[in-house]
Homo-oligomer: A and B are copies of this chain.
Amino acid sequence: MRAVPALQNPPPAFVRFFLRARGPCSNTFVVNLPVQIGIGWYNPLVGIAWQTRKVNHMQIQASRLNLQLENPFKLSYGATTFRENVRVTISDGTFTGSGEAAVVPYYGETPDRILRYLTDPALADAIGEDPLLLDDMLNRLPPGESSAARAAVDIALHDLWGQHLGQPLYRLWGLNPARIPTSSFTVAMADSESHYRTHLRAARAYGLIKLKLGSGDWRTDWHMVEIAREEISAPLCVDANGGWTVEDTCAIMPRLAEIGVLFVEQPVARDDWDGWRALPAALPAGHPPLIADESVQGVESVLPLAGFADGINIKLAKCGGIRAARQMIILARALGLKIL
């Protein structure tokens, strides 16, 4: 129904009226009557997507999306109790794609900066008129300073494109949805041990738990891991959010290895390149893999970590969207890096 016929000229007005008047036809009784115009046949059932390509400008709408967190989210950068995300929809009159910008304060993102990007008329000009030319649209996006804002647009354009092709993205990538790996449930730090134990018990239903560490003292961090090991039987991974030095990492790592922690995320600070370079030689062999998170942003940030980190954490709001994320996956695999 959404195939794109290779017809170059628009059909006459009465055919366009017929297409508009007919409305959605799936699962209803419809007489599919093709119409001969000029030298070709126009089949209304396959003409819808093609008709929608004649829009002049996409309609972009942005709005704040305030989220109250169920529990305060405490990590090495401090505690937060809410998120001020931004939603965007991009419509061409037939389909509407949705995207969202995750506002992570420690990346310098603010809702206002994101809204400025999304409401700039230059964005609509850049996107253009043809929702099927996904690559062109993404190539033309203004760079801007907010990768979260670009990611929101990238997500909405992928959504719009997929709707025109009548397929979910996993189909358009030839992927098997049954192979989606289990994600982890994150348990943040807490103000007291009893609160921490309460949060851990609430997480018992999940099959993989990520502990936020980086309290400022690696002994306190290790104590949290010990408590978690008491409360939870599921596999554990940990994320220091850059809260350790190389020495901290070397001190805690043998303990983490001994209890079988699956991986350790962002041990040293985001810009601590000396730390990343020192870690492979400083750590004992067979330590849990080191995954870079804050130290990895877009495609260009993957190569410098090869040989130091064992893997990278890819997030759409960091790298600017789905296309960049897929490029980073291919690049990371070629470099022998694991992907989170």
Contacts and interface: CB of A to CB of B under 8 A. Distances in A.
19 contacts: A2-B3, A4-B171, A26-B46, A27-B43, A29-B31, A29-B34, A32-B45, A45-B45, A132-B171, A161-B174, A165-B165, A165-B167, A165-B172, A166-B166, A299-B334, A300-B334, A302-B334, A303-B335, A330-B331
Given A134-B174, A136-B179, 7 more contacts: A1-B46, A26-B46, A27-B41, A132-B171, A138-B174, A165-B165, A302-B334
Contacts of A335: 303
Contact of A34 (B28, B41, B132, B167): B28
A186 to B, nearest CB: 29
A145 interface: no
A56 interface: no
A135 interface: yes
Q: Which 7 pairs of residues, A with B, have the shortest CB-CB distance?
A: A134-B174, A3-B166, A135-B174, A133-B176, A330-B330, A27-B41, A327-B330
Nearest to A34: B27
Interface residues of A, number: 44
Contact of A45 (B1, B165, B172): B1
A304 to B, nearest CB: 11
A334 B135 contact: no
Interface of A: 1-4, 25-34, 41, 43, 45-46, 132-136, 138, 161, 165-167, 171-176, 179, 299-300, 302-303, 327, 330-331, 334-335
Task: Give the interface centre of A32, A45, A173 by most chain B CB atoms within 10 Å.
Answer: A32
Contact of A174 (B34, B41, B133, B179): B133
A176 B331 contact: no
A172 B30 CA distance: 28
A172 B172 contact: yes
Contact of A331 (B25, B33, B331): B331
Contacts of A4: 167, 171
Contacts of A165: 165, 167, 171-172
Contact of A29 (B28, B33, B135, B174): B33
A33 B30 CA distance: 7
A31 B28 contact: no
